[in-house]
Amino acid sequence: MNGRGEAAHGRGGTLAAALVTLLLAAAMLGGIALASAVRAGRTYEVTFYQVINADVSQNVRFVLLTDLHLREYGGDNAGLIADVAALAPDAILLGGDLVTYGTDGYDGMLALCRALAQIAPSFAVMGNHEDEMTFLGGDAQLPELFAQTGVTVLRNRAQTVQLGADTVEIVGVSGYGEGFERYGGRACMETLDAEHAGLRVVMAHVPTLFPGTLDAYAFDLGVAGHTHGGIVRLPALGGLYSAEEGLLPVYDGGQHALDNGAELIVSRGLGHSGRVPRIFNLPELVVIDVNRY
């Protein structure tokens, strides 16, 4: 074989080796992603956040559950209920999308709410899936059925509750984007006193409602869900996509400082509703401790 033939053979061998390496790497990554998706379909992690606020006299603990989309952890959600009880919350916050629009039946979610309401005072806002089932799916009784479980359903209204030695005002806001105005969110927020006594918590399903809209009002803590952690999470970059923000969303999860001085906690949620599985993105049960110092 002449020199050129040997060189061509060498280049061909190098390209073949590189292709095999690339295919092996892709297969390995695909296997890891598949294992991640399978694990995300079976379990969740508990994430703890701390918020400092001078309006509380002692630690106030909230447990936040969002976006279950009918998923159960253990028979009748026994595992999830036991974990919530063990966390000893002062109040439980349900951030919406317990159901999935287009899927019939949500008795399991009603049973979950009944169990949670026995653990601690529980408060809920409707997510877009509850709203779609109520207004588009002909299930007008859905909000009342959830209210009958003992959970306080907050649809553009506030509820004051005594948690230990502290008075806490919990506000539930409906609507997304322009719907904030259309469905009564603005009217609700404008009824609140700017100089509020005690801790004020605002719940909304969609996190992008907070920056630039809800943070024009006075409150101390905001909670939301909806984004499912960006569905696929990329190392060092975070969530891949959300409907409101597109690629690499800011509000895919975690803790965010708002312009009014409040802290916003966004849950990655406990389930999913789309065809794309959660990858490198474990479902999340959120614990928020509000401390004076």
Taking only the tens place, the pLDDT of each residue in 187-222 is 999 999 888 879 999 999 999 999 999 999 999 999
What residue spans of the chain are helical by DSSP H? 3-40, 78-86, 107-119, 128-135, 142-147, 179-182, 185-190
257-292 b/e with 16+ CB inside 10 Å = b? ebeeebbbbbbbbbbbbeeebbbbbbbbbbbbebee
Q: Looking at residue 36, what is its pLDDT?
A: 47
* Whether residue 93 sits in one domain with residue 35: no
* Whether residue 206 sits in one domain with residue 99: yes
* Whether residue 74 sits in one domain with residue 12: no
* Whether residue 235 sits in one domain with residue 181: yes
* Residue where one domain finishes, among candidates 25, 40, 55: 40
Give me the CATH number covering residue 52. 3.60.21.10
Three-state SS at 104: coil
* Whether residue 24 sits in one domain with residue 66: no
- Do residues 142 and 153 touch, judged by C-beta distance below 8 A? no
* Whether residue 279 sits in one domain with residue 227: yes
* Whether residue 225 sits in one domain with residue 92: yes
Q: Comparing 41 with 122, which gets the higher pLDDT?
A: 122
* Whether residue 148 sits in one domain with residue 135: yes
* Whether residue 168 sits in one domain with residue 88: yes
pLDDT tens for 150-174 read 999 999 999 999 999 999 999 999 9
pLDDT tens for 59-103 read 999 999 999 999 999 999 999 999 999 999 999 999 999 999 999
* Whether residue 144 sits in one domain with residue 35: no
* Whether residue 219 sits in one domain with residue 116: yes
Q: What is the mean pLDDT of the chain?
A: 90
Per cent of the chain over pLDDT 90 is: 75
- Sheet of strand 122-124: strand arrangement: 45-52, 284-291, 60-65, 91-94, 122-124, 152-153
pLDDT tens for 112-139 read 999 999 999 999 999 999 999 999 999 9
Overall domain count for the chain: 2
Confidence (pTM): 0.88
Give the range of the structural domain holding residue 73, as residue numbers without chain letter: 45-291
* Whether residue 84 sits in one domain with residue 11: no
